[in-house]
Structures are given as C-alpha cells and as structure tokens.
Amino acid sequence: MSDKICNSLWRASSPAAPVLAPLEGRVDVEVVIVGAGFTGLSAALHLAKFGISVAVIEAQEVGFGGSGRNVGLANAGVWLEPDQLDNAIGTEAGSIMYKALAAAPEFVYGLIKEYDIQCEPVRNGTLHAGVGKSGLAQLQRRCEQMQKRGAPVQLLDAAEAQVRIGSSKFNSALFDPRAGTIQPLAYARGLAHAALKEGAKLFDQSPVSKIEPADKGWVLHTEKGQVHAEKVILATNAYSEFGVKEQARKFVPIFYSQLATKPLSEAQLASILPNKEGVWDTCTVMSSFRLDQQGRLVFGGMGGEGSVLSNWATQRVTELFPILSKVQWDYCWTGKIAYSEDHLPHCQQLEKGLFSVAGYSGRGIGPGTVVGAELAEWLSGRRESLSIPTTVLRDISFRELKRLFYEVGAHTYHIGQQSHALS
C-alpha cells in the first residue's frame, strides 16, 4: 500500500497549510522534533510558548501521516477498557493516564478556541455503537467502569441509539458528551500555524537521513541541512519508515481507509446523525462514520483501499441507512495506525536526550495533543513525569506477519460480509 497522498476529502476541504521550506544549512535549537503530526506540533507549540527554541522536521508535509488521514473523532481516553488499562500498567499509573486522557477533548477544543483553528469543530459527543450480544456486554462494562471513574457517559438502549444514529442495526450506544469531531488535517495545519506564531521553526520536505550524537546532544542530518539540538523527539508514529526506520519495528502498522459521499439531502440529514455525533462500532473489524460540515457522510473501515473495501462500504452503508438508496463516493483515502502490543501509547527514552513517542492505536487526536504538551512540560522541567508509559519497547517479533494477519483478516471479513448479503 502506497503512502502517496490520495483523493482525500480532508485535503480538499482544509484551509491552507503554512508555507514552509526544506531545511538548508545548520540550525541550532534546544529541542528538535521529527514529524509534523499532532504530537510533534503540540510539543513544538508548547515548547515555544515556554521560551524554548524548537524546530520541527517533516519528511513530507504537515499532517501527511495519520494526523491528516483519520476519521476526526476527538475522543477521551484510550482503546482499552479502564480496568484493562489498570491491569496493563498498574492501578496508580492507570489512574494517572486515565485522568490525563479523559481530559483530552477539553484540551483539544481549548486549543482550537485559543488559536482560532478553522477545523470544523463540533462537540456534540460521540457514540460507541453496539453490535450483537458481545457488543452490548462490552458497552455495559465500559459504561460501568467509566462512570465509576466519574465520566459523564450514558448507555443508550436500542430505541434511543437507533434514533440518535439513524439506523436500526445497533442494539445500544455508549454516549460520551465530552467528545466530538474535527477536520483532522485542518487541525494539524492549525497547530502548525499556532506553533509558528509562538516562535517554533518548521521545515517540510526534509527526510532525516541520519541521527548521531554530538558534543552537546544530537545532530540530525537531512539532504541539505543539519539540526543540532540538546534533545530529540521522534514523533513519527506509524510513519516511522520516513527517516526513523528503527522505531517502526516497535509497532504494527494497520491500514484504515475512508470514503466520503456527496453531500446528503436535507431529508437524509434529518434522519442520519441528526445531532452530528461521531460513531464507531464494537465489531472486531471496526468501522466508523460521521458527517462533515458540508453534510457528507464519511465512512471508514480497517484495511487498505480498493474495490473490495469500496464495495463492502457501499453495501454496509446502504444496510445501515436504507434512506441512502444509492451511495456515491466522491473521495477515498487511506492512512496507517501504529498498534503497540498493549494498545497503549509509549514514550521511550532510547538514549540520553533521545525520545520516541508512538502507539496511539487509532486514537491519536486527543492523546497526541495531550502527550505533546506533556513532553514540552517534561523536557522543560515543568513536570516530573508523563502520564503515558515510558518503558523502552522491544522489537515486535513477526511484525510483518502480524500486519498481514490484520490486513488479510479485514479483507476476508469484507468479502464475507458481501457474500452474506448476496446469499
């Protein structure tokens, strides 16, 4: 699967990115960041606000990776159920991480307001939609565990969930009013504008060819330049092969593709997600959907783009929403998710002054923004530790086989669902 820029709705509807240039010559800063996604840009913005000199080096363009390709759900927390989080890293650490990321939507929408980021922000909550008995049981567990920790979530029964979503295919939904939707590429570009405003230096089209120790920290080499810095943040997530290949081995890349319809009619919009929440389901091969500002239905599913996924998406959308008797896709694009073995983000200190952050496992908007800000506080001495694990990860064994397992599994699921519909 190529990482070329595809026919993306987000690129078509996003305000312009800042005009940047490739790195040339020597630049000296206190902190250099590799990767202009949510984490890197948030870290740069906040470091610059603290008066720390910082540069961001991007191999492609701002938001080129998962930050500019995701569905745009600004959710609270991580994928794991709260009890699973405690079991994974311990009750005390789990509580710290849960509280920090539970507040992520508030932090994201606060930055959007502070810097007037034009990214179609809608904060009407999200719906985790239940499918089957196992889906309902999962949502019941999540609701109980989240409410126990003070989250204002509500488990909707089948009747209410179906009205809120506009589909009869779900038996429940967990509503989280803290969350919402944004235009993710526009948000990334807005963070870049904000970072520049605060004094950060940003360079694009500058793949890192080598990172090596220097007398007072590190030096990063690109084709035409060098950055000398005391500290380095590698914030490339699932796109680590662009200059930081050794970090790619710590995570499994999973493809997630999205399609967007033509703008829906007024009658269709009155029925489908009338409150404009974002939705994802409890299926093992997950799908998600939401509306954009123009009234397009944006639908996503695991797997690389192609006719199988497109045909499955068409079939699935018409099953969910019979009012859409004929689905026409105007846009289709693909991104990658970095899955860690425990499905949690990690900040690794690889060597003194050299840090790597990745593993959002498909939930990067809120956690990426928060972790970027925490990194700025941590590296500037304003906080003692991060809210996410800081253990050094081992290389994932049989990484390519695991990637193929997910890819083939999603492909087989999509074919099976189409065959079932035709039988």
**pLDDT given at position 403:** 43
Give the CATH number of domain 9-125+178-379.
3.50.50.60
Evaluate if residue 355 carries a pLDDT over 60: yes
Task: Note whether 319 and 303 are within 8 A (CB).
Answer: no
Task: Note whether 320 and 314 are within 8 A (CB).
Answer: no
Q: Within its chain, how far is the Cα of 165 from the centroid? A: 22
* Percent with pLDDT over 70 in the chain: 88
**pLDDT given at position 386:** 97
Q: Which carries the bigger pLDDT value, residue 4 or residue 88?
A: 88
DSSP category for residue 238: G
Complete DSSP assignment for 299-328: EEEES--SHHHHHHHHHHHHHH-TT--S--
- pLDDT tens-digit series, residues 126-181: 999 999 999 999 999 999 999 999 999 999 999 999 999 999 999 999 999 999 99
Query: H helices of 174-271, where?
Result: 184-198, 245-248, 266-271
What is the rounded CA–CA span in Å between residue 324 and residue 73? 23
Rounded average pLDDT over 396-408: 47
3-state class percentages of the chain: helix first, strand second, coil last, to nearest 5: 35, 25, 40
Full-prediction pTM beyond 0.85?
A: yes
- pLDDT tens-digit series, residues 8-53: 999 999 999 999 999 999 999 999 999 999 999 999 999 999 999 9
Query: H helices of 166-225, where?
Result: 184-198
Rounded average pLDDT over 256-269: 95
Helix (H, G, I), strand (E, B) or coil at 145: helix
**pLDDT interval class at 271 (50, 70, 90):** very high
**pLDDT interval class at 410 (50, 70, 90):** very low
Rounded average pLDDT over 242-256: 69
DSSP category for residue 7: B
Evaluate if residue 315 carries a pLDDT over 50: yes
What is the rounded CA–CA span in Å between residue 229 and residue 28? 6
Evaluate if residue 62 carries a pLDDT over 60: yes
